[in-house]
């Protein structure tokens, strides 16, 4: 059974600082997704990582995937208040295209002025 573990679950950081969120998973997969959720809102797709060594960047966020270590990271550079949200990673271990995802519990990020 695939298990996905995120840490930390809560992260409070100051504007301008850097930090990394970690996503570990328990079985082989080369498909990992990062989502963002604002309070009271739905999930918004951030990154799709499909192979070992994949790296994607959008603004102050950069995601990477190491399939050998079963680890993905979401790195935040020079945080700003607008990045305050809950971030989820999700892993797909199914064959074919049915995309049955298992989500981590989420990391609630608060960026303080």
Partner 1 sequence: DVKVTQSSRYLVKRTGEKVFLECVQDMDHENMFWYRQDPGLGLRLIYFSYDVKMKEKGDIPEGYSVSREKKERFSLILESASTNQTSMYLCASSFWGYSNQPQHFGDGTRLSIL
Instruction: Give contact residues for partner 1 (rule: CB under 8 A).
Output: 31, 33, 35, 41-45, 48, 50, 88, 90, 92, 96-106
Among 110, 30, 19, 14, residue whose Cα is nearest residue 69: 30
Q: How far apart are CA 106 and CA 113, in angstroms?
A: 23
Taking the least distance from each CB to partner 1, the nearer of 98 and 113 is 98
Taking the least distance from each CB to partner 1, the nearer of 49 and 79 is 49
| Contact in structure between 34 and 44 (CB atoms under 8 Å) | no
Q: What is the DSSP letter of 30?
A: S
| Shortest separation between residue 5's beta carbon and partner 1, angstroms | 10
| Shortest separation between residue 60's beta carbon and partner 1, angstroms | 20
- Give the angle 60-38-40 at the CA atoms, nearest 5°: 175
| Shortest separation between residue 44's beta carbon and partner 1, angstroms | 8
Taking the least distance from each CB to partner 1, the nearer of 81 and 100 is 100
């Amino acid at each position: 059974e695939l298990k996905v573990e995120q840490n930390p679950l809560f992260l409070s950081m100051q504007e301008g600082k850097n930090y990394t969120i970690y996503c570990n998973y328990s079985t082989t997969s080369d498909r990992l997704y990062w989502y963002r959720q604002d309070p009271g809102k739905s999930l918004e797709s951030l990154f799709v990582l499909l192979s070992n060594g994949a790296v994607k960047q959008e603004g102050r966020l950069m995601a990477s995937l190491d399939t050998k270590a079963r680890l993905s990271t979401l790195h935040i550079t020079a945080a700003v208040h607008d990045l305050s949200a809950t971030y989820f990673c999700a892993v797909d271990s199914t064959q074919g295209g049915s995309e049955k995802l298992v989500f981590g519990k989420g990391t609630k990020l608060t960026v303080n002025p």
